[in-house]
């Protein structure tokens, strides 16, 4: 993920084969981030279930958990 972020910063200055290599690294970073998020969604739901009945709607708990997961992955 970090390599993808670094590659996205270097991409505007690259040309030719280097640009293609950086684009591939960026795509791999995006895929890794998406995989981490999808893999941990069940964890978010599991934790949200513990807080049912405490004044916050269940779907709001899941939404906040998913937002935290996305921030953590980035």
pLDDT of 2 reads 76
Residues 6+ apart with CB under 8 A from 41: 66, 69
Residue 45 neighbours by CB under 8 Å, 6+ apart: 62, 65
Confidence (pTM): 0.66
Look at 23 and 70; give whichever has higher pLDDT: 70
pLDDT per residue as tens digits for the range 11-51: 777 777 887 888 888 888 889 989 999 999 999 999 999 99
Evaluate whether 1 touches 9 at the Cβ level (below 8 Å): no
pLDDT of residue 40: 93
Query: Looking at residue 51, what is its pLDDT?
Result: 92
* 44 token code pair: 């978010």
45-66 mean pLDDT: 94
């Amino acid at each position: 993920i970090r390599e993808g972020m670094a590659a996205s910063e270097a991409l505007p200055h690259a040309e030719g084969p280097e640009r293609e290599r950086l684009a591939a690294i960026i795509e791999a970073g995006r895929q890794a981030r998406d995989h981490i998020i999808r893999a941990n969604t069940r964890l978010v739901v599991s934790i949200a279930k513990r807080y049912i009945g405490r004044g916050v709607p269940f779907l709001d708990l899941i939404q906040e958990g998913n937002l935290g997961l996305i921030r953590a992955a980035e």
